[in-house]
Amino acid sequence: MSSYDFFLAHAEPDAAAAEQLYRHLPGETHVFNDDRFLNELHQGLTSTQWQIRGQCALALSRIDGMNAHAALRRSYPQAGATQERILAALGLLSLGQELPGDPKLRRLRTDLARDSHQYMRLVMKDILKVLSTCQHPQATDIAAAWEGIYSEAADY
């Protein structure tokens, strides 16, 4: 995995549509609900690059489900970069799990306020998708608050 510049692990339910959308992005690896990449995703949690660690955390929750729970509970508090921590949080929330040390999502709110409006469109889409569909009682309000901001963000 060290040879990848950026490991983008969006596990989309409709692989054909997702591949059509993302195929123009050279040099990136995309994971589409394909458990053949589980070992690489688990290895990605220990990468030296925070982008890889964060994307792998979210992808593992989507592909491996509750089997990834223990790894995600370890990776969330170890996350150093804001976006990495957000993606690890989304992974846990998508599994219906509470965030360690952040049951009311205060840290997540603070992290989102830092610079999430400048993230790539696909990351903003992931944030909204997970927050609007997870079971946490405050998550849908957070998603609603960010939806308008993200809709005005640069599209890249």
Dump the DSSP string for 52-115: HHHHHHHHHHHHHGGGGHHHHHHHHHH--SHHHHHHHHHHHHHTTPPPTT-TT-HHHHHHHHHH
Contact of 112 with 147, CB cutoff 8 Å: no
Residues 105-133: tens digit of each pLDDT: 999 999 999 999 999 999 999 999 999 99
Cα–Cα dist 139/5, whole Å: 32
More confident residue, 114 or 154: 114
Residue-wise pLDDT for 20-69, tens only, equals 444 443 334 444 566 777 888 999 999 999 999 999 999 999 999 999 99
Name the pTM for this structure: 0.80
Axis-axis angle for helices 50-64, 69-78 (nearest 10): 160
In this predicted structure, what is the pLDDT of residue 155?
74
DSSP state, residue 138? T
